Amino acid sequence: MEIFGPYIDFAADTRDGDIFKVIVAAEWLGERFISYDAPQAIYYKGARTGEITAIRFPPDAENAKYYKPDGMALKEIISDVPLKTIRVTSPFNLGRLHPILKVRKPHNGVDLAAPIGTPVYAFADGVVRVAGERGAMGNMVQIDHSGQVSTYYGHLHRFASGIKGGVRVRRGQVIGYVGSTGRSTGPHLHFGYRKKNAWFDPMKFLSIKTTNEKMIVTSLKEGFFRRVKTMLAFLDAIDTGEKGPLAPGQRQDEVTAPLPAEKEKEETPEAGEEKTEATKGDKEGEKTEKRTNWNSEWQDD
């Protein structure tokens, strides 16, 4: 989904009957399934979105990118945000009258509404200084970045696995999940930004940028276009639903013909046609949020 992020808004643009195909390599140890790798090819065709295909290249490289079949690299989202959706319910305010304690108490961060369990992302590369319970902040993560900047993430439901003091994190890495721990009257993230021991309004530092589409470098072109041919053949071989949608959990290869003969060695192409289950989930989540009055003064710490 993230790969198509700059192109398709999966919360708004998807419709029943849209077609979604993915080819992923599955790792097997004998008969035992180990894991899925990054998608090698993705295809989406929708009433609102039009048609878009993405091919990963070089297939196994760590720094692989996704390209359209014509060789243009897909735009990528570069974000410095702790949550995908930023909805401020209580702004940064150093002279705030605290809603629970009824005393002047600075609000040294912003409160961002989100349902419990929403992933929280590291604002920038850094080192986890704190990942533990901190009074009113509940389960809190502090990350130290370069330039004497630290960011704070409060009221977490839980920490992401492996997040503890001393661990290095990358921008955009999931560090925990939204909760309502500590002094909090509803699920939200308290996000704080501190530089050289002074608090700043974090909203001033949030940014979402999109890179441009760029042609694949010449030295990779030949191999890329060979790869495109193979991947498009795999995608074509996926039968999408004239026979009706797949049952949940049913695999495409249980339903249709074998894949093209030039199948690559280590790869076990998996194919699935879905009616965007994930999207339906998102929409339900959205409704739930709308029923809740996030504007009320229920805020935290």
- The binding site for Zn ion (CB under 5 A) comprises 111, 190, 300
Work out the end-to-end distance of the chain between its first and last CA atoms, rounded to an integer number of angstroms.
Answer: 34
Of 18 and 300, the one with the shorter C-beta distance to Zn ion is: 300
Of 88 and 255, the one with the shorter C-beta distance to Zn ion is: 88
How many CA atoms are closer than 13 Å to the CA of 2, on its beta-carbon side? 9
Q: How far is the CB of 225 from Zn ion (least distance, A)?
A: 52
Q: Give, for 133, the enclosing helix (H) or strand (E).
A: strand 126-133
| CA-based nearest residue to 126, from 148, 111, 95 | 148
Tokens of residue 115, six digits: 């349902």
Of 145 and 190, the one with the shorter C-beta distance to Zn ion is: 190
Q: How far is the CB of 99 from Zn ion (least distance, A)?
A: 10
Q: How far is the CB of 299 from Zn ion (least distance, A)?
A: 6
Of 116 and 127, the one with the shorter C-beta distance to Zn ion is: 116
Tokens of residue 90, six digits: 């209580």
Of 186 and 285, the one with the shorter C-beta distance to Zn ion is: 186
Query: 283: buried, middle or exposed (CB in 10 Å: 19+, 13-18, 0-12)?
Result: middle
Of 273 and 300, the one with the shorter C-beta distance to Zn ion is: 300
CA–CA–CA angle 71, 73, 75 (5° rounding): 150
Per the CB < 8 A criterion, the answer to whether 158 and 152 are in contact is no
Per the CB < 8 A criterion, the answer to whether 163 and 147 are in contact is no
Q: How far is the CB of 190 from Zn ion (least distance, A)?
A: 3
Q: How far is the CB of 117 from Zn ion (least distance, A)?
A: 19
Q: Residue of minimal CB distance from Zn ion? A: 190
Q: How far is the CB of 130 from Zn ion (least distance, A)?
A: 16
Q: How far apart are CA 68 and CA 64, in angstroms?
A: 13
